[in-house]
Amino acid sequence: MNKDFDVLKYIKDFPVLNKEVNGKRLVYLDSAATAQKPLSVINAIKNYYENINANPHRGAYFLSTASTEAHDNARKTIKEFLNAKYSEEIIFTKGATESFNIIAQSYGMNFINANDEIVISISEHHSNLIPWQQVAKAKGAVLKYLYLDENGEIPISEIEEKITSKTKLVSITQMSNALGTILPVKEIIKRAHEVGAVACVDAAQSIAHMAVDVQDLDADFLVFSGHKIMSPMGIGVLYGKKHLLNKMTPFLFGGDMVEYVYEQDTTYAELPYKFEGGTQNVEAAIGLQEAIKYINHVGIDNIENHVQQLLEYAHEKLSQLEVVTIYGPKELHKKGGVISFNIKDVHPHDVSTILDSYGVAIRSGNHCAQPLMRYMNINSTCRASFYLYNTKEDVDIFIDSIKNVRRWLGYGS
Ligand code: PLP
């Protein structure tokens, strides 16, 4: 393992990993669903409520100003984290799902027309799929898919054939939550721009594992959820290029997103407030800011290396088990810290329940990617995912418990 990365030092920062859960040591292998939270994030939320809680933007008094400043400061931290050009390009949302719905409703419904094409990949999470189905249905547009080859990758030919002058929007995940595949988003964005299409990136998984730079990617929109990078739930980000956000209509109408309201008409606030109707989740924005500070403190490259090493270690051990089928790319540098697999003749929910009795938490199901499962001719998989606080010992416990699954169910081995 990476000698410079002292994982035990970081584990101490996560209260839930330092006690028994349901009478057992927790081996948490479900960070792709949501990451555990370090004490600094938990304390930041406590501090907010103990010292600065007030409705932001709405008062001239000290606390309200402090709350407004804290919210705006959090936005600046996210701007730096994504290397966005302007703070106004960072919109706070409830999460990736809401961010996609904003793009679909406020951009898609206004700028996509009949017979235009929208291109996504077959490995998209439902949140980057259903909103585009809605736009396609409402506008008479065509929703096209980039399919994976037998190696679990999108061939270049697929990108060139599907993204054409008819394409008006491409929306692609940077890392599949279901298979761990890292997609060539930079190349896909380049192709989208060559044909004059707008490109959105789903960074809900990748944001936890690699440096994400919106200017380097040249992404027009990029979304993520804070909870996957250790912030509280209920906060996420929509990044959008300023000129695109400026021409879009608001998504949520109400308090705070307005300039002037008349009996019959309204003018809207400037960016980013135009897209932030209603009282904002200031505690979660501060929690997200603190989570980013924590990532910066550990170092995103260290996290990426550590997770990659755990992935390789787990992959090697799991591949030695004849009864296990692993899905996704064979070349591990094309994969993030996710292993999707099945055990012969055992339903993933049974695997997950049996592993739980060993204190091992993994995910089972279709991972909000039903079209992908159907394309692969399976119903569901087991998914183990790794993060900065996981150890080789976690992987060993996971593998030992996997070895017991079929025995539990009465199979010989
Ligand atoms: N996109 C991907 C790749 C995800 O993994 C997820 C959540 O699992 C989402 C989008 C949606 O995130 P949320 O449920 O936080 O809105």
Ligand 1 atom closest to residue 367's alpha carbon, by position in its atom list: 8
pLDDT of res. 78: 98
Q: Tell which one of 99, 173, 205 to mutate to probe ligand 1, the residue whose CB is within 8 A of the most ligand atoms.
A: 205
| Ligand 1 mean position, distance from CA 96 (Å) | 6
Structural contact between residues 245 and 220, judged by C-beta atoms closer than 8 angstroms:
no
Residues 112 and 16: their CA atoms lie apart, in Å, by: 46
Is-catalytic flag, 200? no
> Which candidate in 39, 368, 373, 378 is catalytic?
368
SS3 19: coil
pLDDT of res. 404: 94
Ligand 1 atom closest to residue 94's alpha carbon, by position in its atom list: 16
pLDDT-above-70 percentage for the chain: 99
DSSP string, 376-399: TT-S-EEEEE--TT--HHHHHHHH
pLDDT in tens, 182-191: 999 999 999 9
pLDDT in tens, 209-256: 999 999 999 999 999 999 999 999 999 999 999 999 999 999 999 999
pLDDT of res. 410: 85
Q: Tell which one of 225, 230, 238, 372 to mutate to probe ligand 1, the residue whose CB is within 8 A of the most ligand atoms.
A: 225
Who's near 410: CB < 8 A, 6+ residues apart?
Answer: none
Higher pLDDT, 408 or 85: 85
H/E run at residue 371: helix 370-375
pLDDT of res. 325: 97
Write down the mean pLDDT value for the chain.
96
pLDDT of res. 152: 84
Burial bucket for residue 247 (CB in 10 Å: 0-12, 13-18, 19+): exposed
pLDDT of res. 330: 86
Q: Tell which one of 368, 370, 372 to mutate to probe ligand 1, the residue whose CB is within 8 A of the most ligand atoms.
A: 368
Q: What are the structural domains, with CATH classification, of the chain?
A: 7-30+299-408 (3.90.1150.10), 42-296 (3.40.640.10)
User: Pick from 343, 345, 357: which is nearest to 401 by CA?
Assistant: 357
| Ligand 1 mean position, distance from CA 156 (Å) | 26
What residue owns the CA closest to ligand 1's atom 5? 177
175 pLDDT higher than 70: yes
Structural contact between residues 29 and 360, judged by C-beta atoms closer than 8 angstroms:
yes
pLDDT band with cut points at 50, 70 and 90 for residue 1:
low
pLDDT of res. 58: 77
pLDDT band with cut points at 50, 70 and 90 for residue 315:
very high
pLDDT in tens, 65-101: 999 999 999 999 999 999 999 999 999 999 999 999 9
Residues 293-311 have a mean pLDDT of: 96
1-5, 124-128, 148-152, 296-300: lowest mean pLDDT where? 1-5
| Ligand 1 mean position, distance from CA 176 (Å) | 10
Who's near 25: CB < 8 A, 6+ residues apart?
Answer: 359
User: Pick from 51, 70, 28: which is nearest to 288 by CA?
Assistant: 70
What residue owns the CA closest to ligand 1's atom 8? 33
Higher pLDDT, 409 or 92: 92
pLDDT-above-90 percentage for the chain: 92
SS (H, E, C) 26-82: CEECECCCCCCCCHHHHHHHHHHHHHHCCCCCCCCCHHHHHHHHHHHHHHHHHHHHH
Residues 3-8 have a mean pLDDT of: 78
Output the ligand 1 site: residues, CB below 6 A.
95-97, 125, 127-128, 173, 177, 202, 204-205, 225
User: Pick from 375, 382, 366: which is nearest to 122 by CA?
Assistant: 375
Ligand 1 atom closest to residue 99's alpha carbon, by position in its atom list: 16
pLDDT in tens, 97-121: 999 999 999 999 999 999 999 999 9
Q: Nearest 5°: CA angle at 324, between 320 and 326?
A: 95
Residue 398 sits at φ, ψ, to 5 deg, of -60, -50
Strands 90-93 and 236-240, sheet pairing:
antiparallel
Strands 117-121 and 167-173, sheet pairing:
parallel
| Ligand 1 mean position, distance from CA 125 (Å) | 7
pLDDT of res. 5: 80
